[in-house]
């Protein structure tokens, strides 16, 4: 019989190459540089004096100086050691490479800096280890303009388990009652859309903790949930109740010995700014109250799923999706070339 999903070392992090949340936009002022390490791909992200954000390889192609200490001039980055200047023209989004400085006649042209696709959206900066032409769709909610939402970044959490264990939790309906005190209404649906996996279900609250009681009250006890897993690196979750919609992004960054999970919450901007700010705080608090139950249990997990499609068809579908996403390799920067 066909295995329901590939047999892999599930407890080791699979390669991951979707979009990653770097930092809130406010953390990167004009003319400043941030370091951001993707697995096997150290980067620096900088904001030019024109306001546009770029992401480039972290090491200077001349002698390998880390560019965290470089200076920004217009849309160029200048290495601190010998002042080679790399022109990273273009506006938001990266050109294929940032041209190296000119060289005296008869010498080989100097190498360029490799650049990566970057987005500034949802009050945050995002990067992918792909170049602009190869970038996959950015994780947005269907039919919802990012400008129509009010955002709040949650506190990042480090979990000692691979990213695919954390994402699998969202597709594991069998823990909903045992961990979250939630029951399902009706039959869920799951749809592998190629670059993302869509999961929809309706749930109701059965617990009696404070967050459960508030959720029951504000939702009318019918919560319509739509989850998208975007190449594994981001989960988007939309919850719709009789009164309103709330939105959550969870960005997963593999790190030494585990995964950094960065949450970003949002609600629609209403006509009363104070009320919208209050709503996004409450949405963040309710999501956090839900997620902290998973955080406690996933910490230190040695992920080794043994489930059958009869027992859990949704989780099996996710594991097949994760194995496929993890089978590609992350594009590496060019190694420094001799002059």
Residues binding ligand FES (CB under 6 A): 60, 62-63, 65, 79, 81-82, 84
In angstroms, the CA 149 to CA 247 distance is: 9
In a 3-state reduction of DSSP, which class is residue 280?
Answer: helix
In a 3-state reduction of DSSP, which class is residue 313?
Answer: helix
20 binds, among ligand FES, Fe ion, none (CB under 5 to 8 A by kind): none
Residue 280: partners with Cβ closer than 8 Å, 6 or more residues away? 150, 151, 152, 265, 266, 267
Q: CA–CA distance from 164 to each of 32, 50, 323, 337 (Å)?
A: 33, 38, 9, 36
By beta-carbon proximity to Fe ion, the closer residue of 174 and 193 is: 174
Phi, psi of 50 (to 5 degrees): -85, 0
276 binds, among Fe ion, ligand FES, none (CB under 5 to 8 A by kind): none
By beta-carbon proximity to Fe ion, the closer residue of 27 and 206 is: 206
**Nearest approach, Cβ of residue 42 and ligand FES (Å):** 15
84 binds, among ligand FES, Fe ion, none (CB under 5 to 8 A by kind): ligand FES
Q: Could you tell me the sign of the dihedral formed by the alpha carbons of 64, 68, 69, 71, in that order? A: positive
**Nearest approach, Cβ of residue 22 and ligand FES (Å):** 23
63 binds, among ligand FES, Fe ion, none (CB under 5 to 8 A by kind): ligand FES
Pairing of strands 124-127, 149-153: unpaired
**Nearest approach, Cβ of residue 114 and ligand FES (Å):** 14
By beta-carbon proximity to ligand FES, the closer residue of 76 and 239 is: 76
In a 3-state reduction of DSSP, which class is residue 239?
Answer: strand
**Nearest approach, Cβ of residue 330 and ligand FES (Å):** 24
79 binds, among ligand FES, Fe ion, none (CB under 5 to 8 A by kind): ligand FES
In angstroms, the CA 74 to CA 166 distance is: 41
By beta-carbon proximity to ligand FES, the closer residue of 64 and 309 is: 64
By beta-carbon proximity to ligand FES, the closer residue of 83 and 160 is: 83
221 binds, among Fe ion, ligand FES, none (CB under 5 to 8 A by kind): none
Q: Which residues bind Fe ion (CB under 5 A)?
A: 169, 294
The DSSP line for 145-179 is -GGGEEEEE---EEESS-HHHHHHHHT-GGGHHHH
CB 88 within 8 A of CB 70: no
65 binds, among ligand FES, Fe ion, none (CB under 5 to 8 A by kind): ligand FES
By beta-carbon proximity to Fe ion, the closer residue of 44 and 168 is: 168
By beta-carbon proximity to ligand FES, the closer residue of 72 and 157 is: 72
């Amino acid at each position: 019989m066909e295995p329901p999903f590939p047999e892999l070392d599930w407890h080791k992090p699979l390669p991951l190459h979707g979009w990653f949340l770097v930092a809130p936009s406010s953390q990167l002022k004009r003319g400043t540089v941030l370091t951001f390490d993707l697995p096997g791909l150290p980067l620096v992200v900088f904001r030019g004096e024109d306001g546009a954000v770029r992401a480039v390889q972290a090491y200077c192609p001349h002698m390998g100086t880390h560019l965290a200490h470089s200076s920004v001039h217009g849309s160029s980055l200048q290495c601190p050691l010998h002042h080679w200047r790399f022109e990273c023209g273009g506006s938001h989004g990266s050109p294929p490479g940032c041209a190296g400085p000119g060289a005296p006649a008869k010498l080989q042209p100097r190498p360029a800096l490799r650049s990566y696709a970057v987005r500034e959206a949802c009050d945050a900066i995002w990067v992918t280890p792909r170049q602009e032409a190869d970038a996959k769709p950015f994780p947005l909610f269907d039919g919802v303009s990012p400008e129509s939402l009010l955002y709040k970044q949650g506190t990042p959490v480090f979990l000692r388990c691979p990213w695919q264990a954390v994402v699998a939790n969202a597709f594991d309906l069998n823990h909903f009652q045992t961990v979250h005190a939630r029951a399902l209404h009706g039959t869920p649906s799951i749809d592998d859309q190629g670059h993302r996996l869509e999961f929809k279900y309706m749930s109701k609250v059965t617990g009696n903790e404070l967050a459960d009681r508030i959720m029951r009250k504000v939702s009318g006890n019918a919560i319509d949930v739509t989850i998208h897993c975007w190449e594994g690196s981001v989960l988007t979750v939309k919850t719709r109740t009789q009164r309103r919609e709330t939105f959550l992004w969870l960005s997963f960054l593999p790190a030494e010995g585990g995964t950094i999970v960065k949450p970003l919450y949002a609600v629609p901007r209403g006509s009363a700014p104070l009320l919208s700010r209050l709503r996004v705080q409450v949405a963040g608090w309710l999501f956090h109250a839900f997620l902290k139950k998973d955080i406690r249990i996933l910490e230190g997990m040695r992920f080794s799923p043994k489930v059958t499609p009869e027992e859990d068809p949704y989780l099996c579908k996710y594991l097949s999706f994760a194995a496929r996403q993890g089978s590609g390799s992350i594009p590496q920067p060019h190694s420094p070339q001799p002059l």
